[in-house]
Amino acid sequence: MQFLSSPQSKTFTGPIAGGLRAGQALFFQGVVPTDAKNFAINLMLENREDIAFHFNSRIETSSVVCDSCQLLLTTVFCMVIFYLISFSVIVNGHFFCEFQRRDPLEKVKDLNINGDVFMNHFGICEVDQIKISVTLPAHKGN
């Protein structure tokens, strides 16, 4: 078994090209290191000071905080965050939680990832509003 240490750089903040809009999904695939304490994914408003959506994995207390939702992420994971009527989160293929936004969706311009996590893939894709399904491009390994 290979053990992974926490990454050196623990913070990423960057723009969401064109901003976030209804019908888009953010796809994350990452690995939580064996010595991890926590990590967070934040959807930031255009001023980069206010947070429209906060997902905080608190590994030491075996919980994830997204308002009152809880889940433990301690290994490889796939997460999809999408917005149709509210923010919805799917983790490893299972519905996790729903979160009503407080700010206009058009103001979400940046993504912030911080803490103890290796993010292998990130992408933005379209969500089918009728079937509520997400189609992701295939990843072919070596």
Instruction: Specify the CATH number for the domain of residue 36.
Output: 2.60.120.200
3-state secondary structure of 60: helix
Instruction: Name the strand (E) or helix (H) holding 28.
Output: strand 24-31
Q: Classify residue 84 as left (phi > 0), alpha (psi -120 to 50) or beta.
A: alpha
Instruction: Indicate whether 22 belongs to any domain.
Output: yes
Domain encompassing residue 44: 12-126
Sign of torsion, CA 82 83 84 90? positive
Whole-model pTM: value is: 0.66
Instruction: Indicate whether 1 belongs to any domain.
Output: no
Instruction: Indicate whether 72 belongs to any domain.
Output: yes
For the chain, the domain total comes to 1
Instruction: Indicate whether 132 belongs to any domain.
Output: no
Instruction: Indicate whether 77 belongs to any domain.
Output: yes
Reported as a single tens digit per residue, the pLDDT across 73-112 is 557 778 888 877 788 888 888 888 888 877 788 888 888 8
Cβ neighbourhood burial of 63 (10 Å; 0-12, 13-18, 19+)? middle
pLDDT above 90 as % of the chain: 0
Whether residue 135 is predicted with pLDDT greater than 80 in this model: the reply is: no
Sign of torsion, CA 85 87 133 137? positive
